[in-house]
Structure 1
Amino acid sequence: MQIVGYDTSAEAGLLLSDGDELDYVSLDAGTELAYTLGERYCAGTIHEDTHLACDADRAPYCADHQYTWVCARCTGTCLKDEMDCYDDHAVYLAAFAPDVFKVGVTKQWRLDTRLREQGADRAAHIRTVENGRVAREIEAGIADADDVTDRVRVPTKRRGLHQHVDDEAWTDFLAEFDPIETFTFDYDLNLTDRPMAETIATGTVRGTKGRLLVLDHAGSTYAVDVRDLVGYEITEGRTERDVQSSLGAFG
């Protein structure tokens, strides 16, 4: 079997392939994962619910299966041959504990889903516009004028997993905007210390927050970037590989 994909929405899970068949493994809290990672290579592609395998060495995707979403680089000038983002788009602000804030855009109908996919702790919907081009222009303007990022990387999110949003800083940040609606998300991870970064697929799932999978294993808690699992061959059975243990594991 090979891990060939993942879902980071409210129904988080891993996609496994055995040949061309796909299986979905839920990452709900309490799920027991017991897989050992083997070799890693290209995860291929999924077409009409069928996995098309690839044995190229590059992981998680080789050059033939690497997809670049050009809209992520758009600042209002379309990078496609023909603009096609005519749905209503939402411009939003998002907070990641304790005090990292970003601006972003998404199609309005998937705003809540997009925020959960990113693992946002707080968010504010501040504008609705008629297409993606206008939304990207507004996003770029806010990023420049307010010196706020339009991208928060996974290691930054991992560092704040056990923390809460700085309410005063978030309130001050929102002061110049007039939100249409606001969001508060609780991922029920119940962490008091920062989990250690690790790439494993063994343990009891505490939950997920965006791409971060939080696992309890051998007395320690780990945060796994699920994208780092994609491409690995797996065998059933708990890993016996030595991983770093927290001090609590020896208490």
Structure 2
Amino acid sequence: MQIIKYKWNMLKPRLILDSGNEIELFDQKLDIKLGKKSCTGSVINGVHRSCSVVTEEWKCTSCMEKDDYFSCISCRGECMNPKQRMSCMKNIYNIYLACFGEHVKVGISIGFRLRERLIEQGADFAAKIMTMKDGKVVRKHENMIRSIAGIEDRIHGNDKMKNIVIDPNTTLKKLTSVLDSVSKKIEIHEPEIYDFRSFYRLNELMQNPAAIDPTSGMHISGNVIGAKGNIIVLNNGGYKAVNAHRLIGYHLE
């Protein structure tokens, strides 16, 4: 069995296996041993295709190029996936600012997926600031906001790991400051502010847990007390956290 995906579904995190089975995490004991790591394959015309290429990443270069949606993730406003362009033009998107502790990023989401998108990223707070049509146009606005505010459009896993436990007052002040700087340069909607902290079930944590660095042969075990986006928090005689994205690609022994 191989872990090919990590996702939140019905506001609960889970690991997806190539067999189609899922490992639910909330209120469960996670007990897995990591084997070798290989490419998770690609989705072509909606069908998952497996791949046996050994790689340190989720996907090998060939599968990245063939995948239906992978290139859209890297889009900066220039169309990188012509076969998806028609649906991209018709879709309604939200532009948001999201806080991860001391870090603020700008991002976009398909309209109906806004809340789910922010929870699966692990945002503490967020503000919806624009709604518009056409993904290409939206990406250009996203880049403009990134430049105006001097913020990123991605938050790395290591930074999320360091901001599991946060000071909400400091985080909200940071969000307010970025909102203010953006609104002075471009017209945005009246911000809708969201607080996602309760979804992660991490109220008992008083400090950031020790980080697990996944490697082949490692046995990861513990009761899952909560998860913040892609960061899973376990209790096994002490709190530990693992970035679920770094589990993707591993075969389970």
**Shorter-chain-normalised TM-score: which range?**
0.7 to 0.9
Give the Å deviation of 1:178: 4.5
CA offsets per residue over residues 115-156 of structure 1, 9 Å max, x none? 111111100111111221221121111111111111111111
For structure 2, list consecutive stretches of 5 or more residues without a partner in the other structure. none
Q: TM-score, normalised by structure 2?
A: 0.80
Question: What percentage of residue pairs aligned between the two structures are identical?
Answer: 31
What corresponds to 2:174 in structure 1? 169
CA distance in 1, matches of 2:72, 2:50: 27
Q: Distance in 2 between matches of 1:215 and 1:46?
A: 31
The 5 A counterparts of 1:79-90 are 79-81=80-82, 83-84=85-86, 85=88, 86-90=90-94
Q: Is residue 181 of structure 1 aligned with residue 181 of structure 2?
A: no
Distance, in Å, in 2 between the alignment partners of 1:55 and 1:69 is 18
Q: Deviations over 1:41-75 (max 9, x none)?
A: 23335789987543322243333333473333333
Match of 2:222 in 1: 203
SS across alignment from 1:64: helix
State the Cα RMSD in Å. Answer: 2.4
Higher deviation after alignment, 81-90 or 219-228: 81-90
Question: What are the residue-to-residue correspondences of 1:62-141 with 2, within 5 Å?
Answer: 62-66=60-64, 67=67, 69-81=70-82, 83-84=85-86, 85=88, 86-97=90-101, 99-141=102-144
Deviation by residue 1:76-98 (Cα, 9 ceiling, x = unmatched): 3323336331211111110111x
Residues matched between the structures, number: 229
Residue of structure 1 in register with 2:24 after alignment: 26
SS of 1:35 mapped into structure 2? strand
Quick one: distance in 2 between partners of 1:51 and 1:139?
Answer: 30
What does residue 231 of structure 1 align with?
A: 249
- Secondary structure at 1:42 match in 2: coil
Which ranges of structure 1 fall in alignment gaps of 5 or more residues? Answer: 236-251
Residue 7 (structure 1) shift: 1.2
Letter in 2 for 1:227: H
Greater share of helix residues, 1 or 2? 2
Q: Is the 8 A contact 2:149 2:178 kept in 1?
A: no
